[in-house]
Amino acid sequence: MPQYKYVLEEKDLPTQWYNVLADMKTPPPHYLHPGTLEEMLDPPIPPPVFPMALIEQEFSQERWIEIPDEVQDVLKMWRPSPLYRAARWEKALDTPAKIYYKWEGVSPPGSHKPNTAVAQCYYAKEEGLEGFATETGAGQWGSALCFATRLFDLKCKVFMVTISYHQKPYRRIAMETWGGNVVPSPSSETKAGRDILAVDPETTGSLGIAISEALEYAVTHDGWKYSIGSVVNFVLMHQTVIGMEARKQMEMAGDYPDIIIGCAGGGSNASGLIYPFLKDKLDGTKPDLRAMYVESTACPSMTKGIYAYDWGDTAKTGPVVMMHTVGHDFIPAPVHAGGLRYHGMASTICRLLEDGIVEARAYHQVEVFDAAMSFAQAEGFIVAPETAHAVKAVYDEALACKESGESKVILWNNSGHGVFDLGAYDAYHRKELTDYKLDTAAIEKALAELPKVPA
Amino acid sequence: MPQYKYVLEEKDLPTQWYNVLADMKTPPPHYLHPGTLEEMLDPPIPPPVFPMALIEQEFSQERWIEIPDEVQDVLKMWRPSPLYRAARWEKALDTPAKIYYKWEGVSPPGSHKPNTAVAQCYYAKEEGLEGFATETGAGQWGSALCFATRLFDLKCKVFMVTISYHQKPYRRIAMETWGGNVVPSPSSETKAGRDILAVDPETTGSLGIAISEALEYAVTHDGWKYSIGSVVNFVLMHQTVIGMEARKQMEMAGDYPDIIIGCAGGGSNASGLIYPFLKDKLDGTKPDLRAMYVESTACPSMTKGIYAYDWGDTAKTGPVVMMHTVGHDFIPAPVHAGGLRYHGMASTICRLLEDGIVEARAYHQVEVFDAAMSFAQAEGFIVAPETAHAVKAVYDEALACKESGESKVILWNNSGHGVFDLGAYDAYHRKELTDYKLDTAAIEKALAELPKVPA
């Protein structure tokens, strides 16, 4: 057997984040104001829901941004994360491909999410804030933020989609263990929540409503701001520690990837791994590097959506962004990969997609769990349903190598464990997991509601 | 902040297990036959429920036993595990103590248990076996064995205590994901199970019954043997990879422990860390080294039991062992630390205890969760309820250092994560967690049922 793991010491932790905007020949268009639809050229963008330092990062064109010592110090609690060679899985698939993965499940909350949660909390503390409000679906992001706020002695208010609050109590308990205050959304604590409850007291909630509640909570409480777990530039940039580490580790392994793969809801874990390598493609060093974003067929923004301006949030509170979208009003089918149910995608990814620099693919959930089972039985780790979408793409690429006899090097991001998501595996074992037919009429209807931006 | 983690490369994985029996001046007395109560001096001990290589290891007096290459190769999937400096917790406790812990939660099943499961499966495969039967309570051991049997292409039959089967479905699903066949115990698949169900169809089961079913299943199925997760010599020895690695990592940190602490049900995770260091005390190099085993007040074999011969299992099928016991018939209170509810303790630990070479302590569960919460909020990791007992002992020792002003070096084994046990944390948050008064009359009654061994 070859070496399994490539480990780095704490001293090898990256000291700078990589900002892909500095290397994109065609950058994404500017954000538009959510109300006036006018271009927002500079910080601060209204409404000022984020700490100012993060808004500045959002607009930065600097290639490298220093990671503050205090942030590095917290990241060292679990970083650098290991890079694995999936040698047993290669053998099980009988493929000549060499499969490597970065394992982000080693963080205390069990995913890549704390990479940005920690950075956001640092800047919030620097700004003298009291706390962060946020929303969470299945709870991966909420638990990362509760973990991070605790370490910086900040408060955390989490609006958790009601159906998940009751179906995934363990995530809620983890958040409470780190000191978070978690309420089912819609809640009676915000006007947005009360309005919904007045109409439908039995509603199971949605991520869109939870975002509206978190934003309202942040702007109506002194010393509170809003924290976000994906989609925006600064979040993707905070995740580039993954790819920066992976570059060193692939060097240790003596390989360079032919294909890099990540699952994408808003796009942060995938870009965190991909962008530091994509730099080599953008500067012409590695013109043949393939980078693949994998989404759910339940919410196929990249593969079935259109490239257009849309609101980033259902409540139309945040900026209007040029991106691939299935429409901010589209409600995806209730797939287990809750993190892949976002209607849009990070603007840099979409621009790179339009320019043919990166590629996208979508999968149904049953085939995704087939692949995750194959991985779990060979490598031991049970991955999150979101991550399983990346696993399926790797599976297909590895089998394509078997067919062609090529020994490609495949690198993917194992963004988080599925210990909180075993209910989905149970449904799979019992053959109760189903695929959903995409409601294309619903997408067409949602796309009709896009902002009418003057040319 | 000081360095947090001390990581080793795969090439630093120990190549030998350490057998403490070789260095004990007064070894534990021989096992007795469960029926005749006669001394069993040599392998094979009847009944031959284990693979022969393991029975030989059980009686070995060799100090070092080679770890087969195939076992090392699987251990490298997650080993060497990291050694952490709990710098943030030290700060939170305001203690001059230096706290280090070995983090075993990085294995795919999330605990130290696969260290022995993998070794046992290797020998079973070498012997041409078809599968292993075992019992599991909360499921930590069962999931480790399912993970390991899968990797060696063996079958696994797990008798899971009925109440846990229903209360902890996620562990059951994890076992099934690795291909295990899990049934609630008592089941209709064994005579032992059917007999119990005939009397009480609504029983919630017990570990004793589950052991009886697993043993019966193993001896009544050709090609099947029984696998055990703690207590016996060979299991403790397989766990010494933990301490062997920790020795190297403490050297990297430039420290040597004053106190080593582990939680103890059967004693394997604690001894896995302790024995490789205790060697220095046994040979006189480190006479002042303190080694502490921490148990639950619900099942206080070391602190309230007697040192006597007792059956290792409720069904009186296995050997009679000289150990600290509260009696094989004693039913402990239903504390969340299910792994600490064993009536006895590993025989080497008990002998060392009798000789004053190691020490023991017991804690109630509420104070244990107080300490685990303190740890989780400082260090992020949410530990298993069993492990939390070690955390409480470290907590007390660290505060004693604060009192005395001593900067002692404390090393403990963080044997597994508590992600599957968040229900216990929820009860704690809601102040529904209670302590149990020890039923000393029940212990006295159980101790009256000890075997009458002729002098």
Q: Is the dihedral of CA A104, A107, A111, A115 positive or negative?
A: negative
Report the pLDDT averaged over residues B436-453: 95
Helices and strands: H and E segment counts in chain B: 18, 17
Would you say residue A336 has pLDDT above 80? yes
Residue of B nearest to A373 (CA): B177
* pLDDT value of residue A194: 96
Which residues of A have a CB under 8 Å from any CB of B?
Answer: 1, 3-5, 7-10, 73, 76-78, 88, 106-110, 147, 150-151, 169-170, 173-174, 176-179, 373, 376-377, 379-382, 419-420, 422-423, 425-426, 429
Using a 10 angstrom Cβ sphere, with 0-12 exposed, 13-18 middle and 19 or more buried, the burial of residue B432 is exposed
Residue A160 distance to chain B (closest CA, Å): 17
Q: CB-CB: which of A7, A173, A382 is closest to B177?
A: A382
Q: Which residues of B touch A9 (CB under 8 A)?
A: 7
* pLDDT value of residue B321: 95
Say whether B151 and A423 touch across the interface (CB within 8 A).
Answer: no
Q: Which of A8-22, A41-55, B221-235, B403-417 has the lowest mean pLDDT?
A: A41-55
Six-digit token string for A270: 């995938």
Which one, of B187, B173, B233, B225, lies nearest residue B18 by Cα? B233
| Spatial separation of the C-alpha atoms in residues A131 and A125, rounded to whole Å | 9
What b-and-e string marks burial along A196-218, b requiring 16 or more CB atoms within 10 Å of the CB? Answer: bbeeeeeebbbbbbbbbbbbbbb
Q: At A137, is the pLDDT very low, low, confident or very high (cuts 50, 70, 90)?
A: confident
* pLDDT value of residue B46: 56
Return the number of other C-beta atoms located less than 10 Å from residue B448's C-beta. 9
Q: At B206, is the pLDDT very low, low, confident or very high (cuts 50, 70, 90)?
A: confident
Radius of gyration of chain B (CA): 21
* pLDDT value of residue A317: 81
Six-digit token string for A16: 């700078």
What fold characterizes domain A17-64+112-233?
Rossmann fold (3.40.50)
Tens digits of per-residue pLDDT, A198-225?
999 998 888 888 988 999 999 999 999 9
Q: Which residues of B touch A151 (CB under 8 A)?
A: 88, 380
Percent of chain A with pLDDT over 70: 99
* pLDDT value of residue A46: 56
Q: Where in chain B are all domains bearing CATH 3.40.50.1100?
A: 5-12+79-110+240-447, 17-64+112-233
| Spatial separation of the C-alpha atoms in residues A90 and B72, rounded to whole Å | 19
Report the pLDDT averaged over residues B107-117: 98
* pLDDT value of residue A168: 86
Q: Quote the pTM value.
A: 0.96
Cβ neighbors of A329 (< 8 A, separation 6 or more) are: A314, A343, A445, A446, A449
Tens digits of per-residue pLDDT, B371-419?
999 999 999 999 999 999 999 999 999 999 999 999 999 999 999 999 9
Say whether B379 and A4 touch across the interface (CB within 8 A).
Answer: no
Tens digits of per-residue pLDDT, B17-53?
999 999 999 999 999 998 899 998 776 565 578 999 9
Which residues of B have a CB under 8 Å from any CB of A?
Answer: 1, 3-5, 7-10, 73, 76-78, 88, 106-110, 147, 150-151, 169-170, 173-174, 176-179, 373, 376-377, 379-382, 419-420, 422-423, 425-426, 429
Residue B377 distance to chain A (closest CA, Å): 6
Q: At A315, is the pLDDT very low, low, confident or very high (cuts 50, 70, 90)?
A: confident
Inter-residue contact A247 to A241 (CB < 8 Å): no
Inter-residue contact B27 to B21 (CB < 8 Å): yes
Residue B128 distance to chain A (closest CA, Å): 21
* pLDDT value of residue B205: 87
Inter-residue contact B382 to B417 (CB < 8 Å): yes
Would you say residue A114 has pLDDT above 90? yes
Q: Which residues of A touch B425 (CB under 8 A)?
A: 173-174, 176-177
Six-digit token string for A204: 């199971």
Q: Which residues of A touch B107 (CB under 8 A)?
A: 380
* pLDDT value of residue B63: 98
Q: What are phi and psi of A359, to 5 degrees?
A: -130, 165
Looking at per-residue pLDDT, the higher value among B249 and A206 belongs to B249
Say whether A173 and B77 touch across the interface (CB within 8 A).
Answer: no
| Spatial separation of the C-alpha atoms in residues A95 and A198, rounded to whole Å | 57
Q: How many residues does chain A have?
A: 455
Q: At B317, is the pLDDT very low, low, confident or very high (cuts 50, 70, 90)?
A: confident
Six-digit token string for A147: 């973990």
Inter-residue contact A135 to A158 (CB < 8 Å): yes
* pLDDT value of residue A43: 66
Q: Which residues pair with B181 in a beta bridge?
A: B157
Say whether B173 and A109 touch across the interface (CB within 8 A).
Answer: no
Residue A1 distance to chain B (closest CA, Å): 7
Using a 10 angstrom Cβ sphere, with 0-12 exposed, 13-18 middle and 19 or more buried, the burial of residue A227 is buried
| Spatial separation of the C-alpha atoms in residues B365 and B362, rounded to whole Å | 10
SS3 A39: strand
The helix (run of H) or strand (run of E) holding residue B102 is strand B98-103
| Spatial separation of the C-alpha atoms in residues B152 and B75, rounded to whole Å | 13
Q: At A405, is the pLDDT very low, low, confident or very high (cuts 50, 70, 90)?
A: very high
Report the pLDDT averaged over residues A132-141: 94
Say whether B380 and A108 touch across the interface (CB within 8 A).
Answer: yes
Q: How distant is the alpha carbon of residue B441 from its chain centre?
A: 27
Would you say residue B176 has pLDDT above 60? yes
> Which of B73, B419, B429 to mutate to probe the A interface, most A CBs <10 Å?
B419
Q: Which residues pair with A225 in a beta bridge?
A: A132
Q: Which residues pair with B413 in a beta bridge?
A: B102
| Spatial separation of the C-alpha atoms in residues A139 and A385, rounded to whole Å | 13
Report the pLDDT averaged over residues B347-353: 98
Q: At A13, is the pLDDT very low, low, confident or very high (cuts 50, 70, 90)?
A: very high
Second CATH level (architecture) for the domain A5-12+79-110+240-447: 3-Layer(aba) Sandwich (3.40)
Would you say residue B119 has pLDDT above 70? yes
Would you say residue A275 has pLDDT above 80? yes
Say whether B179 and A377 touch across the interface (CB within 8 A).
Answer: yes
* pLDDT value of residue A138: 84
Q: What is the mean pLDDT of chain B?
A: 95
Per 3-state DSSP, what percentage of chain A is helix, strand, and coil (rounded to 5)? 45, 20, 40
| Spatial separation of the C-alpha atoms in residues A390 and A363, rounded to whole Å | 9
Q: What are phi and psi of A86, to 5 degrees?
A: -85, 60
* pLDDT value of residue B173: 97
* pLDDT value of residue A48: 78
Cβ neighbors of A236 (< 8 A, separation 6 or more) are: A20, A230, A267, A268, A271, A272, A275, A346, A348, A349
* pLDDT value of residue B208: 82
Q: At A416, is the pLDDT very low, low, confident or very high (cuts 50, 70, 90)?
A: very high
| Biggest distance spanned by C-alpha atoms of chain A | 62
* pLDDT value of residue A47: 59
Say whether B382 and A108 touch across the interface (CB within 8 A).
Answer: yes
- Looking at this predicted complex, what is its ipTM? 0.95
Inter-residue contact A265 to A277 (CB < 8 Å): no
Inter-residue contact B74 to B116 (CB < 8 Å): no
CA dihedral B6, A105, B173, A160 (to 10 degrees): 130
* pLDDT value of residue B183: 97
Report the pLDDT averaged over residues B141-153: 98
| Spatial separation of the C-alpha atoms in residues A327 and B208, rounded to whole Å | 58
Would you say residue A252 has pLDDT above 80? yes
CA distances to A48, B296, B342 from B300, rounded to whole Å, are 58, 6, 9
* pLDDT value of residue B137: 86
Cis upstream peptide for B43 (omega within 30°):
no
> Which of A74, A79, A167, A170 to mutate to probe the B interface, most B CBs <10 Å?
A170
Six-digit token string for B377: 């909020």
> Which of A9, A70, A382, A432 to mutate to probe the B interface, most B CBs <10 Å?
A382
Q: Which residues of A touch B376 (CB under 8 A)?
A: 177-178
Report the pLDDT averaged over residues B1-7: 89
Percent of chain A with pLDDT over 90: 90
| Spatial separation of the C-alpha atoms in residues B382 and A179, rounded to whole Å | 12
Q: At A45, is the pLDDT very low, low, confident or very high (cuts 50, 70, 90)?
A: low
